[in-house]
Amino acid sequence: MKYSAFAVAIAAVLASAGLSAPAFATGKMSCEAGPQSGWKTRAELEASLVKQGWTIKKSKVDGGCYEVYGTTPEGDRVEAYFHPVSLEKLLVSRRGEILFRKK
């Protein structure tokens, strides 16, 4: 009984922590590439990467960019970002280590 005030306090703190978990921005990159109607398709990007020697596990849209998981022609297992209009390579990262960033 002595600690029931504690119990209420914990419950309150936990509940508020759970409910107010802020929506942190996810993703490593963002692109301002205009409406999707002007974008090249993901299939186009994948095809050109495969031609360059990439192996692709998965690709998706992230932060308005195309994000590709796969292996580079050099054999690095990476996560890479491409501009959806120009298909230019913007960022290559391996588990948080930046291997390439467009200047």
Partner 1 sequence: MLDHRACHIHDKDMSILRILNSLPVFWILLSIPALLLVGEYWTGDIIAMDMLHPTGEFSARFMIIALMITPLSVIFGQRRWIGWLMKRRRSFGLAAFGYAMLHLLFYLTDMEALEPILAEFWAPGIWTGWAALLLFLPLAITSNNASMRRLKQGWKRLQRLVYVAALLTLAHWLLIHDGVAGALAHFIPLLLLELLRGIIIYARRNNMTRQQDSLQAE
Which residues are at the interface with partner 1 (CB under 8 A)?
Answer: 3, 6-7, 10, 13-14, 17-18, 21-28, 57-58, 69, 71, 75-77, 94-97
- Amino acid found at 73: P
Residue 36 CB, nearest distance to partner 1 (Å)?
22
21 vs 43, which CB is nearer to partner 1? 21
**Please, what is the minimum distance in Å from the beta carbon of residue 38 to partner 1?**
26
| CB nearer partner 1, residue 29 or residue 45 | 29
3-state class percentages of the chain: helix first, strand second, coil last, to nearest 5: 30, 30, 40
Q: Do the beta carbons of residue 28 and residue 91 sit within 8 Å?
A: yes
The identity of residue 80, as a single letter, is A
**Shortest Å, Cβ 82 to partner 1:** 17
For residue 28, the Cα-to-chain-centroid distance in whole angstroms is 5
